[in-house]
Structure 1
C-alpha cells in the first residue's frame, strides 16, 4: 500500500528528532552494551525482512517493515527511550555514513523516523500480547500504518 504524504518539514519536530544529535559512533562508545544489542537486533530485522520480502529494500514495504520491527524489538530489549535514542542516532549518522557519506533525502529520513516511531508505539500497545512481533508489524504494514514511500517534503519559504 504505497501512500504518498506531503510534509512541510515540521515532521522532524513532531517526531522530536534532533538532526544535530548523536549518531551510531557516539552510541557505540557511550552505550556499548545497548549498541551491541541494537546491532544484533538490526541483523535479526534484516534477516527477517529478507525472509518475508525476498530483499532488504529502500523506500518500500520491506524498508518500512524492517524499521518498525527493529524499533519494536529495541523497545522490548532496551526500553522505549533507549530504542528512540539508538534509532534516532542511526538516522542522524549511521556508521556507514561516517565512511561513505549519506544520500538519504529528507523524505526518506522522515519515512524511517515515522516507521521507527510506529514500531515503538506498537511495542507499547502490544507488550503484554502473545502475538509474534513480526505479525504485529505486518498487520501495521497491511493496514497502512507504516509509511512505504518517502514523504514529499516541501519546506516553507
Structure 2
C-alpha cells in the first residue's frame, strides 16, 4: 500500500479499518462467487472485484474519498501499466454505479457490477497483452499476460498526482475517463 493510501485508511480509526477490510474481503468473495478464476488477475473476476470494491467504498465513504484512495492505491511501484489502466477504469465504473444508485444495497450493487462486466462496460487484459479490451469481447480463458514494462519513476513523487483524485483522464490513467 502506498503511503498516501495508508494515510487515508489511517484516518478511519480501528473500527473503520475493520469495516474497510470487510469491504475488501466482501469484494473478493463476491467476485469469486460470480466469476470463476485461476489467479484473480487481468480477468473478469479482477474487473468485477475492483468495481465492486469501489462501489461498496463509495457507498460507505463517498465517491471523492474512494477515488483519491484508489488512485493512490494503484500508483504502486512496479505496477504493470496494463493492470493499472484496467484497475483505474474498472474502479471508476464501480464508483459511477454507486453514484447512480445511491439507495442500492450491497447485493444490488454487486448485481449491477456483474451486469456491467457482462455488458462490456469493464475492461480486461487479453492474452498477448499490450492493450485492454472490453469485458464482453473476450471469454474467461482469453485473458492474462500483460506485457508492457512498468514505469521507472515513483508516481507518488509526481507533483500532486497521487492526491489529486483526478478524473481518470490524466497522463497516467491509460483507460480514459469516459466510463
**TM-score of the superposition, structure 2-length normalised?**
0.61
CA-atom RMSD in angstroms: 2.6
Matched with 1:76 is 59
CA distance in 1, matches of 2:7, 2:103: 32
Is 1:122–2:105 an aligned residue pair? Answer: no
- How many residues align? The count is 126
CA distance in 2, matches of 1:41, 1:73: 7
Name the structure with the higher helix share: 1
Question: Which segment drifts farther, 61-70 or 118-127?
Answer: 118-127
Equivalences for residues 9-20 of structure 1 within 5 A: none
**TM-score of the superposition, structure 1-length normalised?**
0.68
CA separation of 1:81 and 1:22: change in aligned 2, threshold 3 A: farther
Equivalences for residues 25-64 of structure 1 within 5 A: 25-32=6-13, 34-55=16-37, 57-64=40-47
Matched with 1:133 is 109
For structure 2, the 5+ residue unaligned runs are: 132-147, 149-170, 172-179
CA separation of 1:42 and 1:151: change in aligned 2, threshold 3 A: farther
